[in-house]
Structure 1
């Protein structure tokens, strides 16, 4: 088992998920729920499924595209999203 990759992916995803919209939605749902354990199970299952889709898509795409190009495309998309957030005036589109 590649422990370094396991801890790197855990740390990266954990830090990126802190304070995002899905966490705020989970807090809101559990705060207004009488059964917060079901909110936990549902939100954990959703994150697991979303991560599985990302892993399988990344693995499938890497068959056709070199890993270096795939990383460059992902970095470019993140940069575009960051610039859009940075340049937005706060109004809804």
Structure 2
């Protein structure tokens, strides 16, 4: 249960102010169809993070738990730094070609979220967590839940929330929390899985 909560919290924090959360705002304001957009986010995250979780499990076969703990701790500090660097998007961040439009809100959300997550900090966090804890399916469940916790409100609220909460403050608070988590991991104050 601790692994599920940790992976959920880590990804929910990492997603705050991230390009995929901004993409959720944009899709919601453009299509005004929250359910297909949420379903697209969910399915894309399951596919993307399952691949990341399996990659993390594979890496765990080659490194000792101590090495993986330090890699995880450093990855949290790196994510803190990464969070402070604003994401850049195209004019509206949503594909405009007619082929993509035929897919509707679900299809466009699925494709754009899957591609946006490739090499993103939440995907890297999923790899690192799965490598460290050796429970890829629990990690994927947690990271997917974390994505939904961060992105579903963005879909429901659309671009209204972005006008009220400065993304800069969300990034600073998230970065500080990642540094704290990285310190806890480095000092080995993380949950033990038996």
Structure-to-structure mapping, 1:3-22, within 5 angstroms: 3-22=1-20
Q: Which residue of 1 aligns with 2:35?
A: 37
User: Does the 8 A contact of 2:28 with 2:34 survive in 1?
Assistant: yes
TM-score by length of 1: 0.69
Structure-2 change in CA distance of 1:81 and 1:13 (3 Å): closer
1:78 positional shift = 5.6
TM-score by length of 2: 0.37
RMSD: 2.7
Q: Which residue of 2 aligns with 1:90?
A: none
Structure-2 change in CA distance of 1:71 and 1:49 (3 Å): farther
2:10 aligns to what SS in structure 1? helix
Q: Which residue of 2 aligns with 1:89?
A: none
1:76 positional shift = 5.9
Q: Which residue of 1 aligns with 2:53?
A: 55
Q: Which runs of 5+ in 1 are unaligned?
A: 87-93
Structure-2 change in CA distance of 1:80 and 1:53 (3 Å): same
How far apart are the structure 1 equivalents of 2:7 and 2:76?
A: 19
1:48 positional shift = 2.0
Decide which moves more: 17-26 or 29-38: 29-38
Q: Which has the higher contact order (CA 8 A, sep 6+)?
A: 2
How far apart are the structure 1 equivalents of 2:44 and 2:22?
A: 14
1:25 aligns to what SS in structure 2? helix
